[in-house]
Chains A and B, each alone.
Chain A
Amino acid sequence: MIEIQNVRKSFGSLEVLKGIDLTVNKGEVVTVIGGSGSGKSTLLTCINGLEPIDAGRILVDGTEVHAKSTDLNKLRAKVGIVFQQWNAFPHLTVLENVMLAPRKVLGLSKEKAEEIAVKQLTHVGLGEKLSVYPTRMSGGQQQRMAIARALAMSPEYMLFDEVTSALDPQLVGEVLDTLRMLASEGMTMICVTHEMKFAREVSDRVAFFHKGVMAEIAAPEALFGAPKDPELKKFLAATH
């Protein structure tokens, strides 16, 4: 369970998160929508401790992320994150990209890490690309590799930060299909996305962020069918 309690975060004088409360249960898929600058991506990087927070707290299975005593590297193995920019490691093959963290962070043997990497890459449809260097692949393939790389750590939670925003339109579908597959397998996920159709399909709940505040959160039918927040109404009208 991920518990976000009254989290505040500023960059300089700009407050990007103004007291966010959100609890995500095991097995739940929560998507976060909202305009740019609404604070949704910042929230994800705070959840796995890549960004410090100014107030409030975030608990992952009861462990406080920003407590000094927390081993962030251990926590990050449990909470995977994939970014808008996939950040493939260009000097490693696809297989090596995925094997690296299981070997160095989890301390797995080469054989075991390879077994896991092959399994995850096959899972995201890259079983034929093991020995290819990532720069030779399309953005969609590289993004799926990044997803496999995160999954190879056997995370219990996955955070997706606008993973299709930097892709050419014709490559968006293959990545969303991968996310749909994970959702159907019961992975606990928080997805920041601009893909409304996707949000409607896969989410248990959809949260709408506006100017650092979670303005509305509801099941997709309710949020998209009968939005209450005036800003959400404007946002939905503009995105259709």
Chain B
Amino acid sequence: MFSYTFHWNQALKALPQMLDGALVTLQVALLSMVIGLALALALTACRLSGNRILGSFATAWVEIARNTPALFQIYMAHFGLGNFGIHLSPYTALLAGIAFNNAGYLAENFRGALKAIPDTQTRAGRSLGMTSVQAFRYIVLPQMLRIAFLPVTNQMVWAILMTSLGVTVGMNTDLAGITQELNARSFRTFEFFAIAAVIYYVIAKAVTLAARALAARMFRY
């Protein structure tokens, strides 16, 4: 019944190729986080602006990003926009889809973090003659980023794992894409995906540990 013979050697020979893919995975995840963070800050600013159009726009973004499958978001960036004549490469579509998703989740993290900072902090800043922008920039924002730091780390890990959805839009240079191609050629599914899983695990764990070390250095209060 259990007659499968493992061929680890064959799979391990492909390791350098898979590690190259892992670098692409990390690159997409990092870029999607940088873009996602910038967008999330902009969405947070829209929500705080008091402008109804900007506020509704930001809320719609957050709602869609958080309540629809990430796979669909990436599909939309690739095939959906393609219907309108906007053709994104698999790499760009994957990046755009994950950045969209990141921005929604991160904006919600920021909102929660902002709620944890008492209004009296802003009031204290204003009473010293700061403008509302200065009070936000120098008093609220640094505290918000600290509170949101661990949720942001979680999102980074999630972004790394989400990159594997790229295979569905033809991404073939990242870890999942390369693994999928190796599998298609050899049918050594278990071995290749087991190794890929270990690599994903190591990257995700390394990011978490690095973030913790960074937090210990940055937040000394």
Residues of A within 8 A of B (CB): 48, 50, 73-77, 80-81, 83, 85, 87, 89-91, 100-101, 104-106, 133, 135, 146, 149-150, 153
- Asked if residues B134 and A76 are in contact (CB atoms below 8 Å), the reply is no
In B85-134, the 8 Å CB interface with A consists of 118, 120-121, 123-131, 134
List chain B residues, Cβ under 8 A from A105: 128-130, 134
- Asked if residues A104 and B130 are in contact (CB atoms below 8 Å), the reply is yes
List chain B residues, Cβ under 8 A from A74: 129
Distance in angstroms between the alpha carbons of A101 and B120 in the assembled complex: 16
- Asked if residues A50 and B221 are in contact (CB atoms below 8 Å), the reply is no
List chain A residues, Cβ under 8 A from B139: 89, 100
Distance in angstroms between the alpha carbons of A150 and B118 in the assembled complex: 20
Residues of B within 8 A of A (CB): 118, 120-121, 123-131, 134, 138-139, 142-143, 146, 219-221
Distance in angstroms between the alpha carbons of A149 and B125 in the assembled complex: 10
- Asked if residues A133 and B124 are in contact (CB atoms below 8 Å), the reply is no
Closest CB in chain A relative to B80 CB, distance in Å: 42
Contact of A133 among B123, B146, B220 (CB under 8 A): B220
- Asked if residues B221 and A133 are in contact (CB atoms below 8 Å), the reply is yes
Residue of B nearest to A96 (CB): B138
**Known A73-B131, A87-B121, A100-B138: A135·B221 in contact at CB below 8 Å:** yes
**Known A100-B138, A104-B134: A153·B120 in contact at CB below 8 Å:** no
Closest CB in chain B relative to A163 CB, distance in Å: 13
- Asked if residues A101 and B130 are in contact (CB atoms below 8 Å), the reply is yes
- Asked if residues B221 and A76 are in contact (CB atoms below 8 Å), the reply is no
- Asked if residues A149 and B128 are in contact (CB atoms below 8 Å), the reply is yes
Residue of B nearest to A159 (CB): B127
Distance in angstroms between the alpha carbons of A91 and B144 in the assembled complex: 10
- Asked if residues B130 and A50 are in contact (CB atoms below 8 Å), the reply is no
Residue of A nearest to B132 (CB): A73
Residue of B nearest to A88 (CB): B124
Closest CB in chain A relative to B12 CB, distance in Å: 48
List chain B residues, Cβ under 8 A from A48: 127
Distance in angstroms between the alpha carbons of A25 and B220 in the assembled complex: 45
Closest CB in chain A relative to B221 CB, distance in Å: 4
Distance in angstroms between the alpha carbons of A89 and B143 in the assembled complex: 9
- Asked if residues A101 and B146 are in contact (CB atoms below 8 Å), the reply is no
Contact of A89 among B123, B124, B129 (CB under 8 A): B124
Closest CB in chain B relative to A161 CB, distance in Å: 10
A and B contact pairs by CB, cutoff 8 A, 12 listed = A50-B127, A73-B130, A76-B126, A76-B128, A87-B118, A90-B221, A91-B146, A100-B128, A104-B138, A105-B128, A106-B129, A150-B128
Distance in angstroms between the alpha carbons of A75 and B128 in the assembled complex: 10
Residue of A nearest to B124 (CB): A87
- Asked if residues A83 and B120 are in contact (CB atoms below 8 Å), the reply is yes
Distance in angstroms between the alpha carbons of A87 and B143 in the assembled complex: 13
- Asked if residues A101 and B129 are in contact (CB atoms below 8 Å), the reply is yes
Taking A50-B126, A77-B129, A101-B130 as known contacts, 5 extra A-B pairs with beta carbons closer than 8 A to each other, sorted by chain A number, are: A83-B123, A83-B124, A91-B219, A91-B221, A153-B128
List chain A residues, Cβ under 8 A from B146: 91
List chain B residues, Cβ under 8 A from A76: 126-129
Distance in angstroms between the alpha carbons of A12 and B176 in the assembled complex: 61
Distance in angstroms between the alpha carbons of A150 and B134 in the assembled complex: 17
List chain A residues, Cβ under 8 A from B124: 83, 87, 89, 146
- Asked if residues B143 and A90 are in contact (CB atoms below 8 Å), the reply is yes
Distance in angstroms between the alpha carbons of A100 and B142 in the assembled complex: 13
Residue of A nearest to B134 (CB): A104
Choose among A89, A133, A150 the residue with the greatest number of B CB atoms under 10 Å from its CB. A89
List chain B residues, Cβ under 8 A from A91: 142-143, 146, 219, 221
Distance in angstroms between the alpha carbons of A63 and B139 in the assembled complex: 29
- Asked if residues A153 and B121 are in contact (CB atoms below 8 Å), the reply is no
Residue of A nearest to B120 (CB): A87
List chain A residues, Cβ under 8 A from B120: 83, 85, 87
Distance in angstroms between the alpha carbons of A83 and B118 in the assembled complex: 14
Distance in angstroms between the alpha carbons of A91 and B141 in the assembled complex: 10
Distance in angstroms between the alpha carbons of A104 and B137 in the assembled complex: 11
Closest CB in chain B relative to A1 CB, distance in Å: 20
Distance in angstroms between the alpha carbons of A87 and B125 in the assembled complex: 9
